């Protein structure tokens, strides 16, 4: 057996392991089921990539994101380590070729998504391969009470049935005790060896900012710590608006969300990864698998749904060991609004039963019947026809999918349009619909005779509108008969069980209710973190994840509040004999909080040292 230290040096160029990488690798090579909980940037990947070069055979890596697989495979191949993936982007012939390469010993690491294991064809294909280790990345997705539950992760035990003597390595960045227990149980880990590294990051400062004007305060914070950053927001609309605001303020800013075309996502992530100053404004779609060491700031403009989600996302800052900040903005009334939204989108038992009944009636499915073929679900038509609440319906259907009653799947990666009316013949020549028609005819040859794939994002970019607005206009034009429009977000449904109303109304309702109670508790945990003003932020986080820190971090907003002070003499020296605006003063003293600076300026006015020369400008007296 090759010595791990020699492999580490040869392929990664490191002379020693980070703690506790060596202990984890030794456990894996000894044949133990192992759970590794290492913070973001703690070197989780090496814990299975290196054993893959020691073991004689294939390491099967189960990973949630195709983009993450591709990045790791490219990185491994560059190092001379043969790796490949089997994903939805491959056809059967390409899958067969990859499997053949595995059988011939040409591949050491084979990456798959968890959903792949539900394919009987795939299980039959791999059962004769020499699998020596099963690695489950982002294993917190197993936890149905976690922030990123993924039902397919609960089926990973199917691969253990094929390879009962192969040990499993599960890896995650954050896992409270309950989540760790669920991971071990769901993966049927035997005598699991658990290794956990402290979440403490000496270079990462956690801060909470109470803001009346979050966009101006965002600019101030980004100026204080220049370099690449991530700004997380709640909605797709916000990504566009905040990125545009930052661009107008002089930043290199871009936006990202789940509904962008795949090619555009890949392009934007690549540009951001290579940039030394770009700020990415994103929903939580820009998350797992990011491997950029020099992120200086991770800012949340809205409260995340849980402390687990926050720590995962915040941990993407400062992986190079240099000073970085994780900042959470709290806006007036946001907490009350969030709690109200949570409650308003939560169906009661009567609504839960109504949604379940309407769903089966929509497809004309009787009691104890189960259609074999997939059925199309026009979600917006379904909600409209039965006068249902959109958010509540989403929650119920998502829950039924988690409980494997149904399976929901996007039908197509592209929307389809056929144009029936020539733009020159319509009467609304100055409207947005006319401009959309012009673009359709110009950009998609043949669209007036045949259905063509279109990109709402491309049209939106050309017209400087949101994709949502373009989709609404296209739907109106379709309803009016000017075009035929089929959206890409039409779903297909597979029914995994017969219609069992009593089972859903009684047993599943109780589980749904329990699940929502846990989600409410998680929301209250992040609210407490954001609003309490007594306990060091880092200490609170570490305690939540089962650690018992003795010392304060000395760099969060609560620790700094006791030590941060600016001298009035320094402000006077900066002002000299010229009039200065408050913005100029704040920008000069970027290392201090805005509130600290404005209070010092007010004190100088009260003491008669400076006077107003305008509504926001001052001069020494």
CATH for the stretch 204-332: 3.40.50.300
Q: What is the dihedral of CA 181, 186, 191, 195, to 10 degrees?
A: -50
Residue 157 pLDDT > 90: no
Report how far residue 18's alpha carbon sits from residue 43's, in angstroms, rounded to the nearest whole number: 7
- Establish whether domains 4-196 and 564-620 are of one fold: no
User: What average pLDDT does the chain have?
Assistant: 88
Residue 427 pLDDT > 80: no
Burial (CB < 10 A; 0-12, 13-18, 19+), residue 107, is buried
Highest mean predicted confidence (pLDDT) among 111-115, 168-172, 182-186: 168-172
Place of tokens 């710590």: 225
Report how far residue 533's alpha carbon sits from residue 557's, in angstroms, rounded to the nearest whole number: 9
110 touches 58 (CB < 8 A): yes
**377-387: pLDDT as tens digits:** 888 889 989 99
Residue 1 pLDDT > 60: no
Q: Of residues 430 and 307, which shows the higher confidence score?
A: 307
Question: What confidence score (pLDDT) does residue 424 get?
Answer: 64
Identify the CA nearest to 381 among candidates 400, 408, 398, 363: 363
Q: What percent of the chain has pLDDT over 70?
A: 95
Question: What confidence score (pLDDT) does residue 425 get?
Answer: 62
DSSP tag of 142: G
**204-247: pLDDT as tens digits:** 999 999 998 899 999 999 998 999 999 999 998 899 999 999 99
Q: What percent of the chain has pLDDT over 90?
A: 44
Question: What confidence score (pLDDT) does residue 288 get?
Answer: 60
Question: What confidence score (pLDDT) does residue 564 get?
Answer: 64
Q: Of residues 398 and 298, which shows the higher confidence score?
A: 298
Burial (CB < 10 A; 0-12, 13-18, 19+), residue 223, is middle
**81-106: pLDDT as tens digits:** 999 998 777 777 888 899 899 999 99
Place of tokens 């009944």: 357
Lowest mean pLDDT among 146-160, 321-335, 503-517, 569-583: 146-160
**110-134: pLDDT as tens digits:** 999 888 887 788 888 888 899 999 9
Average pLDDT over residues 470-476: 89
Domain boundaries, the chain: 4-196, 204-332, 339-411+491-521, 415-486, 564-620
Contacts of 554 (CB under 8 A, 6+ apart): none
Phi-psi sector, 359: left (phi>0), alpha (psi -120 to 50), beta: alpha
Question: Hey, what are 394's tokens?
Answer: 């989403």
Residue 402 pLDDT > 90: no
Binned at pLDDT 50, 70 and 90, residue 600 comes out as confident
Average pLDDT over residues 608-613: 83
Average pLDDT over residues 390-408: 89
Binned at pLDDT 50, 70 and 90, residue 287 comes out as low
Question: What confidence score (pLDDT) does residue 147 get?
Answer: 46
CATH class (in words) of the domain with range 564-620:
mainly alpha
**3-49: pLDDT as tens digits:** 889 999 999 998 899 889 999 999 999 999 999 999 877 788 999 99
Contacts of 59 (CB under 8 A, 6+ apart): 48, 49, 51, 52, 108, 109, 110, 131, 132, 133, 134, 135
The pTM score is 0.74
Strand ranges inside 238-370, DSSP E: 253-256, 279-282, 297-300, 324-330
Question: What confidence score (pLDDT) does residue 48 get?
Answer: 96
Average pLDDT over residues 551-573: 84
Residue 158 pLDDT > 60: yes
Query: Domain 4-196 belongs to what architecture?
Result: 3-Layer(aba) Sandwich (3.40)
Lowest mean pLDDT among 171-175, 255-259, 592-596: 592-596
Report how far residue 140's alpha carbon sits from residue 544's, in angstroms, rounded to the nearest whole number: 16
Report how far residue 69's alpha carbon sits from residue 111's, in angstroms, rounded to the nearest whole number: 6
443 touches 458 (CB < 8 A): yes
Report how far residue 11's alpha carbon sits from residue 547's, in angstroms, rounded to the nearest whole number: 34
Residue 164 burial (CB count, 10 A)? 7
Residue 256 pLDDT > 70: yes
């Amino acid at each position: 057996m090759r010595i791990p230290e020699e492999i580490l040096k040869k392929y990664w160029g490191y002379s020693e392991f980070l703690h506790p990488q060596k202990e984890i690798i030794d456990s894996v090579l000894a044949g133990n089921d192992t759970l590794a909980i290492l913070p973001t940037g703690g070197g989780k990947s090496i814990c299975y990539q290196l054993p893959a070069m020691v073991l004689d055979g294939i390491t099967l890596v189960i990973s949630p994101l195709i983009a993450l697989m591709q990045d790791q495979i490219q990185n491994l191949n560059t190092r001379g380590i043969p790796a490949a993936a089997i994903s939805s982007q491959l056809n059967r012939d390409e899958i067969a070729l990859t499997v053949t390469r595995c059988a011939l010993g040409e591949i050491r690491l084979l990456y798959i998504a968890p959903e792949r294991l539900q394919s009987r064809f795939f299980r039959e294909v791999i059962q004769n391969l020499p699998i020596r280790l099963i690695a489950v990345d982002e294993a917190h997705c197993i936890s149905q009470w976690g922030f990123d539950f993924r039902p397919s992760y609960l089926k990973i035990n199917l691969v253990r049935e094929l390879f009962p003597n192969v040990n499993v390595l599960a890896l995650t960045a954050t896992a409270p005790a309950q989540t760790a227990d669920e991971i071990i149980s769901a993966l049927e880990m035997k005598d699991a060896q658990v290794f956990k590294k402290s979440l403490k990051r000496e270079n990462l400062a956690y801060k909470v900012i109470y803001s009346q004007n979050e966009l101006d305060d965002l600019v101030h914070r980004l100026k204080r710590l220049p370099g690449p950053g991530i700004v997380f927001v709640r909605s797709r609309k916000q990504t566009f608006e905040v990125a545009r605001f930052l661009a107008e303020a002089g930043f290199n800013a871009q936006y990202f969300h789940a509904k962008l075309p795949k090619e555009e996502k890949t392009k934007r992530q690549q540009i951001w990864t290579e940039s030394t100053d770009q700020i990415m404004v994103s929903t939580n779609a820009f998350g797992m698998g990011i491997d950029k060491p020099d992120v200086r700031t991770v800012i949340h403009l809205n409260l995340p749904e849980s402390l687990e989600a926050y720590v995962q996302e915040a941990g993407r800052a400062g992986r190079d060991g240099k000073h970085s900040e994780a900042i959470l903005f709290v806006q007036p009334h946001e907490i009350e609004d969030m709690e109200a939204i949570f409650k308003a989108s939560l169906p009661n038992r009567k609504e839960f039963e109504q949604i379940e009944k309407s769903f089966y009636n929509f497809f004309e499915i009787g009691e104890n019947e189960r259609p074999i073929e997939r059925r199309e679900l026009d979600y917006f038509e379904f909600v409209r026809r039965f006068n249902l609440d959109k958010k509540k319906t989403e929650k119920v259907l998502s829950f039924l999918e988690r409980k494997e009653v149904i399976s929901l799947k996007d039908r197509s990666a592209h929307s389809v349009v056929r144009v029936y009316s020539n733009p020159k013949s319509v009467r609304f020549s100055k409207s947005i619909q006319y401009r959309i028609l012009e673009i359709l005819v110009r950009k998609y040859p043949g669209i007036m005779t045949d259905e063509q794939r279109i990109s709402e994002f491309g049209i939106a970019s050309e017209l400087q509108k949101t994709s949502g607005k373009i989709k609404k206009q296209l739907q109106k034009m379709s309803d009016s008969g000017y075009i035929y429009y089929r959206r890409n977000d039409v779903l297909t449904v597979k029914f995994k069980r017969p219609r069992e109303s009593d089972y859903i109304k009684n047993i599943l309702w109780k589980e749904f209710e329990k699940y929502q109670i846990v989600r409410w508790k998680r929301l209250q945990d992040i609210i407490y973190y954001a609003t309490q003003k007594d306990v060091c932020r880092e200490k609170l986080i570490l305690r939540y994840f089962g650690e018992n820190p003795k010392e304060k971090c000395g760099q969060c907003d609560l620790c700094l509040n006791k030590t941060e002070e600016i001298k009035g003499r320094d402000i006077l020296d900066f002002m000299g004999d010229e009039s200065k605006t408050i913005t100029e003063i704040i920008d000069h003293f970027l290392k201090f909080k805005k509130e600290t600076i404005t209070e010092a300026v007010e004190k100088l006015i009260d003491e008669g040292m400076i006077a107003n020369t305008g509504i926001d400008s001052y001069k020494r007296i």
